[in-house]
A and B are shown apart, each in its own frame.
Chain A
Amino acid sequence: MTKDECKKLVTEIIADIAPDEDLSNLKPDVRLRDQLQLDSMDFLDIVMELRKCHGIEVPEADYIQLASLDSCAEYLTPKFNALEAKR
């Protein structure tokens, strides 16, 4: 998985969690909370979707890594690839 593919996947998850939001102009380097109406429960939804749909665990101490699309990609892409390598 590339970082761009990871950003696309996270954006798809956000589209389900925040279906009223326009995600067409998301800035990857800006905090998601500063661009979208997301609260802490929404971030828990992102964590749950990663767990349910992709088998990715995000420990609570690492939630901060999900702040922006760029930081998501930095943090999650190696996890996706490690998981893929195991399969």
Chain B
Amino acid sequence: MKQSRIVITGLGLTAPNGNTLAEYRQNLLTGVSGVELIELRYMGAQPAGVCHFDPLKYQKKKDVRIGTRAGSISIHCAREAAVDSGLNWEGFDKSRAGIYLGITEHGNVETENEIYNVSLFKHDMKFWSHHHNPRTVANNPAGEVSLNLGVTGPAYTLGAACAAGNLGLIHAAQMLRLHEVDLAFAGGVSESIGTFGIFAAFKSQGALASHPDPTKASRPFDKKRNGIVVSEGGCIYTMERLEDARARGARIYGEVGGYCVNSDATDYVLPNSVRQAECIRRAIAHAGLTPADIDIINTHATATPQGDIQECLAIGEVFAGCPDVNINNTKSFIGHAMGAAGALELAGNLPSFNDLTVHPTINVDELDPQCDLPGLVLNQPKKAKRVDAILNNSFGMLGINSTLIILRYRP
């Protein structure tokens, strides 16, 4: 059976360096970081990517109070995507819309807050909030969007560590092809800067970034990189079958070309370049392409000493003999937006279909020789000969790998 072509018709985002695609893209092309210092419970000042959107644009004060930060981020992104898509949302059959959001984790923020709250009352559990369960169920961010938008179709999250942003889009493409829904709100979300536990665990692991200048703390591929900058953020796309998008005259950002999700099955945290290379190769094959057809590789690299090298090994192997491929990294600007990373990083590159410009990786003062791939775009944007295919890598703990390829839309 011939599969439907799946296209992206709208997007909404909030990133540490921009609340609209235009603002975000402009900052990616002009080297503007979104990382700043935050005061974190028990941890003190830490570099982090903080979003500065207005939750009250789309939510009542009461809903902000009862809900979660991830819920607010998701609602902001979904609402912006709905507007951007040009859909007649009010007239749309909301039982035929689905919400698929990737998350790295959810509930840590709220649980830590409650434990802190009851500690102020000698750990007397009668002070534990009745809002805890709806705030911490894993589907919370998607559920809050369904409440806000009135979506009565499927709404849930996909837990896939830091591969999750890609997973949201991949799952949406599958559900659209199965005709389970006619419209998908798909992407990823993170509220992780609110949980000291994630910072503390990365620190214990020797994988938490530090730098006197927070804007320089996230430095993938640089010899002096020393770990991850944790960020919040979100990016949600509207995705549709091509025939539906064309029927309503929608603007099309790009088309899902191919994808792959696989697992290392080797370690809890250490990446595996062999499985990553396999994931990339399978995604390319799924798209019916060869490595030479890929124009931009947006790397997952999080600026951990080992992780960046492993991904570079994988890319170096698959793309040996592809001198024209451009390789960049968005985390150098915004830190690691966890479940939102894949979706946000893709958004930062989609405008390249139009402007043929590749945003750089910033903060590379001294390139690590072990990361010295021929196509790296460092510190300054670069004009590309061609941008017809963008390959987006997102990898996560417990060895989950995801690669998503978005193609220039051609009727």
- A pairs with B: yes
Q: Tell me the residues in window 46-87 of chain A with beta carbons closer than 8 Å to chain B beta carbons.
A: 48, 51-52
Given the complex of chains A and B, what is the CA–CA distance between A41 and B130 in angstroms?
A: 8
Residue of B nearest to A19 (CB): B61
Specify which chain A residues have a CB less than 8 angstroms from the CB of B61 in the assembled complex.
Answer: 19-20
> Would you give the shortest CB distance from A62 to chain B, in whole angstroms?
15
Specify which chain A residues have a CB less than 8 angstroms from the CB of B131 in the assembled complex.
Answer: 41
The yes or no answer to B205 lying at the interface (CB within 8 A) is no
Residue of B nearest to A47 (CB): B130
The yes or no answer to A18 lying at the interface (CB within 8 A) is yes
Given the complex of chains A and B, what is the CA–CA distance between A12 and B127 in angstroms?
A: 20
The yes or no answer to A26 lying at the interface (CB within 8 A) is no
- Interface size bracket, B side: 10 to 19
Residue of A nearest to B59 (CB): A20
Given the complex of chains A and B, what is the CA–CA distance between A51 and B120 in angstroms?
A: 13
The yes or no answer to A44 lying at the interface (CB within 8 A) is yes
How many residue pairs between the two chains, A and B, have CB atoms under 8 Å in the bound complex?
21
Residue of A nearest to B120 (CB): A52
Q: Are B127 and A48 in contact (CB under 8 A)?
A: yes
Q: B65 contacts which of A19, A48, A51 (Cβ < 8 Å)?
A: A19
> Would you give the shortest CB distance from B131 to chain A, in whole angstroms?
7
Q: Are B130 and A52 in contact (CB under 8 A)?
A: no
Contact with A along B246-275 (1 / 0, CB 8 A): 000000000000000000000000000000
Specify which chain B residues have a CB less than 8 angstroms from the CB of A20 in the assembled complex.
Answer: 60-62
Q: B66 contacts which of A41, A48, A51, A52 (Cβ < 8 Å)?
A: A41
The yes or no answer to B122 lying at the interface (CB within 8 A) is no
> Would you give the shortest CB distance from B388 to chain A, in whole angstroms?
48
Given the complex of chains A and B, what is the CA–CA distance between A45 and B61 in angstroms?
A: 15
The yes or no answer to B89 lying at the interface (CB within 8 A) is no
21 A-B pairs with CB atoms under 8 Å apart are A17-B62, A17-B65, A18-B62, A19-B61, A19-B62, A19-B65, A20-B60, A20-B61, A20-B62, A41-B66, A41-B130, A41-B131, A44-B130, A45-B130, A48-B127, A48-B129, A48-B130, A51-B126, A51-B127, A52-B121, A52-B127
By Cβ-Cβ distance, the 10 closest A-B pairs, closest first, are A19-B61, A20-B60, A44-B130, A20-B61, A20-B62, A18-B62, A19-B62, A52-B127, A41-B130, A19-B65
